[in-house]
Structures are given as structure tokens and as C-alpha cells.
Amino acid sequence: MTTHTKRLTRRVLPALAVVGAMTLTACGGGDSGGDGSDGGDVTLRVAWWGSDERQRITEEAIAKFEEQNEGIKIQPEYSTFDAYYDQLTTQVASNDAPDVFAVEIRRLGELARGGVMADLDGLVGTDDLNQELLESGAIDGVQYGIPTGANAFAVMANTKVFEDAGIDLPDDTSWTWEDYMELSAELTDTTDSGLYGTQISNNDAFLKIFAAQRGEAFYGEGELAVSEETVTDWFAYQLEQIDEGATPDGPRSVEIGENVETSLVATNTGAMGMWWTNQLGTLTAGSGEEVELLRMPSDAGAQTGGMFLQPTMFWTVSGNSAKQEAAGKLVDFLVNDPEAGAIMGSDRGLPMNSSVLDSIRDGLPEADVKSLAFIDDISDETDVPPTALPGGAGEIPNLLKRYSEEVYFERMTPQEAAAAFITEANSVLS
Amino acid sequence: MTDIQERPPQADAEKPQPAAAGRPPGGVGREHTLQIRKRRRKEALIAHLFLAPWFVGLIAITSIPLLASLYLSFTDYHLIQDWGWVGFENYRTMFTEDPRFLKALSNTTIYVVVSVPLQLAFALALALILDRGVRGLPIYRSIYYLPSLLGSSVAIAILWRKVFGADGLFNEFLGFFGYEGTSWVGDPSTALGTLVVLNVWTFGSPMVIFLAGLRQIPPSYYEAASIDGAGKMRQFWSITLPLLTPIIFFNLVLQLIGAFQSFTQAYVVSGGNGSPADSTLFYTMYVYQKGFNSFQMGYASAMAWVLVLIIAVLTAVNFMMSKYWVFYSDK
């Protein structure tokens, strides 16, 4: 027993010491690089979400920035979209927010009103930016966010599937919701089994356009402005699409979800779908076929097409940051510098700085050229970009999805779902 | 538990007992005691050193946040907005004004009540088969244990989504029988079922414990029983099962607690929102949604504490009930 203990001591204690040391370093490791100011340099923490491709090009642009601005070092903190806000809000709550971070319009209002962000007036040059879009980043007259670029929500059509079915692309200047449904059902019928005319979209942008065509706004002050009747009709339209065979059946539709890479158009198993224009590249690359942009259908008596340009996301600067000047410089570089524009293209939406756009126009990939032409095309018809949304708007997509599913599986009628959706949404919004 | 691990029972009788064997009283003995004491102290020190990393973790990573969350559960702590003390408001809202809370609670309860007994039955059945001295037992044991290691991982949940998807393996299999299924994870009436199956599939860890338990039953009991003419079934009901009850109890307690807390599978299979139509909204997932999507950390904390209470009460009831069905052979 004694020798055993000795052996134990000799062998185990160093091991324990190592474990202990590791535990301690793990505890202390969290804030490494927090200020990291070696030799007077400023280190900026920059956070965004997105794909590997976005990470690659953003880092490339950042490297350019570091080259031009000696003394400023950038420390990227990227993650997937799913994990992004978890991390960001936790950091915000513990006063450890990144100096520069990206947010979408759905969360901008909430975070800005929570006093999380800095006023960017004077920190970022905005003269060449699209002023209408810029307005989206202002709340109560304070410029909290600078749009990274613009997007429109539109129908995308896989030309190969149309061709194989022997059906022509529709005339998107005049088509109605009825046409869209009939065409989709016809495509499902004429093509092989396993191919569908379209897929369900629960995107709130779809409902926003649907409502705008009836002269209704989606959001009001801290609540929904859309009427129960419109939401009822929208849910009913979704259900009818399933019933008519325009889309896959309910369970399949749920499984397909909103993922762009695995969508029907991207996998050549569907003819149409609705997405943001900056997703055209992904759809084209996924399918390997020509994908065309089409206007959203409308109602016969609609007052407007309802389509709108929306900032894809915003760059914002932390209100707590001690390095706001350097942070502003970085944001300025990302939105105003032609070199940055050339590197990042339309990944975060088409650049909204006119001179950047002009300088990169020729070098854009084909999908971007198409998006740009499309946005030019519809520019006379689009509504004004939305202003910052009420707090809690980030939860609306999940609510829409949930109540849509209640409708697909006939657990609720469209009317019941619409009433419940509006009640719950208004309790969430502020 | 302990009584089983300390067996086989013969051990006590055979152990030599030198300490009591005619040692002269007096100085030598006392010196010896001192030495023992010294050694004991040293051993205690080592033991504490061993515990130290865990202890640091317990205080820094578990206890402090735990107490903080108890406090926060009485506030409307919001990650971004101002917040303050609200007393029992969160708890009241939960049970009176939040249908999704009740939905999450009922989903989780169904999941636990269906999957845990199935999983244990499966584990026991396989343990019984493997205990028959199958050749290559360690290999089988490892293979069957594998799902337990993987079961709560993201990769398996993604795989599950594929297997039970519209064009998945499961429908392929059903296709042989002429049945054409749609998406099992996309249908609210079957999505929870796929998660139950996933949990049952991870029967490995209770199985390994059952196997260890079976090994502890003295073969002499079976010999005596077969001499008395008892058949295999009779032996199972009268010897194996009663002697295994402590193990069954142990597994039951562990799996119940684990199942109530399960999160990853449902999160991944449903795409993070309890879809379709909240049919896979687990309790922990709702806590997560409240905390990280709605930023209502106070409410989420209160929900977490309700779960702690549920599990504590359930475990206490379990222990009380155990008096009536768990058999400890040394009592």
C-alpha cells in the first residue's frame, strides 16, 4: 500500500499540476486579445456571420485595410448565423461587445434602442451612399447602422426545369398570384415525379410585399400594421399551393425549409422559389443552370408591385468601444473603398456607394450583373426601403413559420392562425 | 449501487486480516497508528488535489451562475433592455399565460415517458443476450455502446434528419413493402417519434451498466435453481430481475434526468425552432429560445429553475418508490 501510494504521488502530482494549469489558463483565456494593444497599436474586434466564402473575402478586404492603416489591427470573430446573436447579445450584456459588428434590419432597431451602438455621424463618410437606403440605418434621426448593400426579394426561376417541361417563362410584368399558382401546379404535373413547380416561402418579406400590394404596411409603431384579413389570405394561399400540388406536400415542405443551398431550385428539383437577390449566386452555383430573376406576382387591382430594396445588413460600431474612430475608419473602408468593393462584390448585397458600384461594375460575376440589371429594372416600381423595425422583429420569422405549419397540417384554419399570429406578434414587438 | 460493486461476496471471507493478528500492545502500535495517520493525511491531500480542478469548476462555472440564475428568475432580466425585480411574475406567467410553455412541457414529458422505458428494455434485452458468453463480447459491447457516445452529437442528429427525411433511408426501406412515406421529421404527428427512436437507439450506456450488473449475480444461484428444476424464464423472473433491480433503478434515475434535459437532438432535427408546428419543442429548447432569441433571460432562468424542481421532485419520488420494488440482496 505504501509503495503504491508513493508511486501514485510521483506519477500523479505532475499530471495534476498540468490539469490545474490548464484549468487556470482556460479561465483566463477568455479575454485574451481584448485590448491587445502592443506598441501603441489599436486592435479592433470585428464580428459578422456567414459562409466560408464570406469569411474569406472579408478577411481579404480586412488585410487590405490593415495595409493602408498601419497601427490598426483587426481581429475577426465570425460565426454561423445560428450562433451569431447568441454570442453577440451575450457579449453586449457583459460589456464585451466587438468594436464593429454586423446586424440585420430585424435586430437593428432593438439593439440601437437598447443603447448598444454608437452614432456613426462624422465617423463614416456617407456622401456617395444611396440616401434612401442609408435612412434605413437611422433611428430617431441617429445614424446607428451603415447598410452593407442592397437586396430585393424576388422570384427566381430555374430555366432548365422550365425548358425540360416545355413551358415558357412567364411574363413577370403582369402575372398574378393566381397565375403563379397555376403555373407552379402545371410545372409539377408536366415534369417527372419528384419535380415541383415551386416551394413554400414563409419569409416575412413575402408577406410584406403581399400586404403592400393591398396598401398595407407590415409594421407600425411597436406593433404589426398588417390586417388580419391579409394574413388570413396569405396563409390560405400557402395552403392552397400545397393542396394544388404547386409545392411539395406539407411534411416535405417543412423539411426543405429555408436553406438556400438545399432548395429545390438549387438542386434542380423545382422550377421556382422566392429569395433575396444576393442569393442568386448560390442558387446558380448550386444548380449549375441559368437562374432568372422575376418580379413578384401581384393582384389584378394592386396599387403597387410592393417590391422594395432593403439593406442586406448593417455595419455598426459598439457604443462602448474606446476605439470608435478606428472602428469608423474600418466601416468607411468597407462601404466606400473601391478596392474593398471589388473584393467583396455583392456578397452583402449590391454595393450602395455609386462610385464603388461604377468602378466594379465590369468585374462583377454573372449573377451579380443579373441582380444589378434586375434592380435597375425595377427601380421605378419599388417602394421606399423599410425604416428600422420595432424591437422583437427578429422573432417574427419564427412566428410566421410556426403558424404556417399549423395551417399546412390543418391544425388551425388560416383565419385562426392569422388571429393568433397577430396577437402573439404584438406581444413580442415593442 | 455500492453493494453490487463491492462483491463478489466471497471476497470478505477470504481476505486476510493482519491488523488484528496478535500485535503486541504499546509503543510500536502507537507509532504505527501515527504512521497510518500521516499517510492518511497525505492521501487526503492527494485526494483533494485530485478534486481541485473539478472543485474550481464547480464553484466558478456551476455554483455562481446557478445562484445568479436563481436571482435572475425573479427579475425580468433582458439582455439589452433595462430590467428589474418582478417577484414571482415569471413563474405565474409560465403556468397561466404561456401556452408554448405547457406545450414544451407536454412534449418533453411524452418524450421521457415513452423513450426511457423503451430504451431501458432494449438495453436490458441486449445485455442479457451478450451476457450469454458471446464470442467477441468486448467488440459487441463497444459497437453497441457507440451510439451512446454519438447520440447527443450534432452529426448524428443531422444524420437522423436525413434518415427520416422524405428521401431518406427509412422511406427507402418502407419502399420494399410498397409503402410510400413522406418526410417523418417534417410531419408534426411523427417528428417527436423520430426523436424517441433516436433516444432509444442510444441504449449503449445503460446496457453496459446492465452487463456489469449481470456479471455480479453469483452463478451458484442459477445452478441451485436449475437443480431445483427452474426453467430459463423462471430463473430470469426470480433471480436475474430481482437482483438487477438496483441497477434498473440506477439506470432509470440517470436516464430520466438525462431525457428531461435533452436538447441537441431536437434542436438539430427541428432546425432550432421546434418545427413542425412546435411538435418537437423541448423544454430546454424553449428555455434557449426565450433566452437567446427573445433575450428574456429572466424568464428563461425561471423556466430553468422549474425544470430543476421537476427533476428534483421526480427523482425524490423515484427514490421513495424504490422501497417497493428495488431489492438489495444484503438487506
Cβ–Cβ contact A400 with B under 8 A: no
**CATH architecture designation of domain B68-325:** Orthogonal Bundle (1.10)
> Does this complex have an ipTM over 0.85?
no
Residue A178 contacts by C-beta under 8 Å, 6 or more apart in sequence?
none
pLDDT the model gives residue A315: 93
The third-level CATH classification (topology) of the domain covering A151-309+392-428 is D-Maltodextrin-Binding Protein; domain 2 (3.40.190)
pLDDT digits (tens, 9 = 90+) for A239-270: 999 999 999 988 888 888 888 888 899 899 99
Q: Print burial letters for A303-316: b (CB count within 10 Å at least 16), e (below 16).
A: eebbbbbbbbbbbb
Where do the CATH 3.40.190.10 domains begin and end in chain A? 42-149+312-377, 151-309+392-428
pLDDT digits (tens, 9 = 90+) for A175-225: 999 999 999 999 998 877 778 999 999 999 999 999 999 999 999 888 999
Using DSSP's 3-state secondary structure scheme, residue A298 falls into strand
Confidence grade of residue B27 (pLDDT, cut at 50, 70, 90) = low
Residues of chain A with C-beta less than 8 angstroms from the C-beta of B50: 12, 16
pLDDT the model gives residue A229: 94
**Percentage of residues in chain B with pLDDT exceeding 90?**
25
Q: Is the pLDDT of residue B30 over 80?
A: no
pLDDT the model gives residue B134: 72
Handedness of CA B90, B94, B95, B97 (dihedral sign): positive
Q: Is the pLDDT of residue B129 over 70?
A: yes
One-letter amino acid at B98 equals D
Handedness of CA A295, A300, A305, A306 (dihedral sign): negative
| CA angle (A391 as vertex; A389, A392 as ends), nearest 5 | 105
Q: Is the pLDDT of residue B68 over 60?
A: yes
Nearest by CB to A23, from B56, B79, B275: name it.
B56
Q: Is the pLDDT of residue B285 over 50?
A: yes
The single residue listed with the C-alpha cell 454561423 is A80
Mean pLDDT of A81-106: 88
Mean pLDDT of chain B: 83
Bigger pLDDT: A405 vs A32:
A405
Q: Is the pLDDT of residue A6 over 60?
A: no
**CATH architecture designation of domain A42-149+312-377:** 3-Layer(aba) Sandwich (3.40)
Mean pLDDT of A71-89: 87
Q: Is the pLDDT of residue A2 over 80?
A: no
Residues of chain B with C-beta less than 8 angstroms from the C-beta of A423: none
Mean pLDDT of B133-147: 80
Q: How far is CA A322 from the centre of its chain?
A: 29
A254–B275 CB contact, under 8 Å: yes
Nearest by CB to A89, from B79, B165, B278: name it.
B79
Distance of alpha carbon A407 from alpha carbon A397, whole angstroms: 15
- Which residues of A, range 206-265, sit inside 8 Å of B by Cβ? 248-255, 257
β-strand pairing of A142-143 with A291-294: unpaired
Burial of B33 (0-12, 13-18, 19+ CB in 10 A): exposed
Q: Is the pLDDT of residue A92 over 80?
A: yes
Q: Is the pLDDT of residue B153 over 60?
A: yes
Residues of chain A with C-beta less than 8 angstroms from the C-beta of B166: 248, 251-252, 255
Mean pLDDT of chain A: 85
Handedness of CA B118, B123, B128, B132 (dihedral sign): positive
pLDDT digits (tens, 9 = 90+) for A27-70: 333 333 334 444 468 899 999 998 788 888 899 999 999 988 88
Distance of alpha carbon A277 from alpha carbon A256, whole angstroms: 20
Per DSSP, A47 falls in state: E
A2–B184 CB contact, under 8 Å: no
Bigger pLDDT: B265 vs B22:
B265
Domain boundaries, chain B: 26-59, 68-325
